[in-house]
Amino acid sequence: MSGIIATVQAGSGRRHSEVAAEAPWVRATLIGVAALFLGITVLLPVSVVFASAFSKGFTPFWAAVSQPETLSAIQLTLLTAGIAVPLNAVFGVAAAWLVSRYDFWGKSALVTLIDLPFSVSPVISGLIFVLLFGAQGLFGPWLSEHDVKIVFAVPGIVIATTFVTFPLVAREVLAVMQAQGSDEEEAALTMGASGFQILTRITLPKVRWGAIYGVILCNARAMGEFGAVSVVSGHIRGQTNTLPLHVEILYNEYNFVGAFAVAALLASLALVTLLVKKSIELNAALKARRLAQRADHDRRSLVPSSLRPANALHPSPAPAPNTGH
């Protein structure tokens, strides 16, 4: 799941054997099975979302999307993601730096804790905050005394969303940092760079693409979270209603066009997320190829041509053909 960029770089440029290959009909069958499986389980439902949203044309779609309650849900969703994503992005870089650069006591326990929100049911993620901040919760009496409302209000939605999405940036950045190592950072340190300079001039540019994908994915999940937010929100229309909760309300009111119209907005967000991922992968693959080419070139031109034997294998210092692939 994590570390797409690390995976792409490792996996590029493999050679397939002719001896150990399947018969053409086996290939065709396997491709057919894979396409049919993903077609029925993924492509069909996603197409249905858009087909249902526009089933009665563009006007009902637009009417559902521009309804005041939808607009307030969009606003709340943007606000929630706007708080949760930056918090988790800063945490993600700090945690990835910590885990990839140092060995310390309790490291694997810390990594397990960072991953924990992934394996907790979203419903339980919501429940723990109700138990913490709700009327009968641990801090409930204190909060009601000071007239602070967290659960069944906007702060609860933000906190639950932050909890649910909190490993996403850390995981992506960590995978890239671990794959790249810290040689450049250590070199910069010996040349007298400060910690802040190392972070902003070396590490962040290096992990840029992993961090961007982590942030985009974190954003998609933050905007789409349903279970945890549903438990803490209290479903107050126009006040504590995020887009996914609004989908549920419209659906339960048998307003199917409206429900699918809002769902189409969220599905577009998911599609954009995947588009970004694809372009980052392509970029990483291109860069890996260019790096390999340059390394190839450097190796050959390391010895000045005047010192080379006359009948050298590669007499010209021109860029070598891309033989590595």
Partner 1 sequence: MAKSSFTLRRRGVLPGFGLTLGYTVFYVGLLVLLPLFAMVLKASTQGFSAFVHAVSDERALAAYWLSFTTALAGAGINAVFGVVVAWVLSRYTFPGKSLLDALVDLPFALPTAVAGIALTAVYSENAWLGGKLLSMGVKVAFTQLGIIVALTFIGIPFVVRTVQPVLEELDTDVEEAAALLGAGRLATFRRVILPSLAPAILTGFALAFARALGEYGSVVFISGNMPMKTEIAPLLIVTKLEQYDYAGATAIATVMLGASFLLLFGINLLQRWARRAEA
Distance CA 325, CA 318 (A): 19
Dihedral (CA of 136, 141, 147, 148) sign: negative
Per-residue contact flags (x/-) with partner 1 for residues 136 to 175, judged by CB under 8 A: xxx--------------------x--xx--x---------
* Nearest partner of 163 among 140, 130, 210, 209, judged by Cα: 130
Site for partner 1 in 11-30 (CB under 8 A): 11, 14-17, 19-23, 26-27, 30
Distance CA 269, CA 152 (A): 26
Our CB check for partner 1 shows the closer of 18 and 309 to be 18
Are the C-beta atoms of residues 261 and 53 closer than 8 Å to each other? yes
Distance CA 151, CA 159 (A): 9
Site for partner 1 in 101-140 (CB under 8 A): 101-105, 108, 110, 112-124, 127-132, 134, 136-138
91 contacts partner 1 (rule: CB under 8 A): yes
Are the C-beta atoms of residues 225 and 248 closer than 8 Å to each other? no
210 contacts partner 1 (rule: CB under 8 A): no
* Nearest partner of 152 among 76, 234, 218, 88, judged by Cα: 234
Are the C-beta atoms of residues 125 and 227 closer than 8 Å to each other? yes
Our CB check for partner 1 shows the closer of 187 and 303 to be 187
Our CB check for partner 1 shows the closer of 21 and 291 to be 21
212 contacts partner 1 (rule: CB under 8 A): no
Site for partner 1 in 223-242 (CB under 8 A): 223-227, 230-231
Q: How far is the CB of 205 from partner 1 (least distance, A)?
A: 16
Number of residues that bind partner 1 (CB under 8 A): 108
Distance CA 98, CA 115 (A): 15
191 contacts partner 1 (rule: CB under 8 A): no
Which of 156, 210, 244, 258 is the binder for partner 1 (CB under 8 A)? 244
Site for partner 1 in 31-60 (CB under 8 A): 31, 33-35, 37-38, 40-46, 48-49, 52
Are the C-beta atoms of residues 177 and 96 closer than 8 Å to each other? yes
Q: How far is the CB of 299 from partner 1 (least distance, A)?
A: 24
DSSP letter at 194?
-
298 contacts partner 1 (rule: CB under 8 A): no
Which of 76, 81, 177, 263 is the binder for partner 1 (CB under 8 A)? 263
* Choices 182-190, 283-291, 295-303, 316-324; region in contact with partner 1 by CB under 8 A: 182-190
Rounded (5°) CA angle 114-117-118: 100
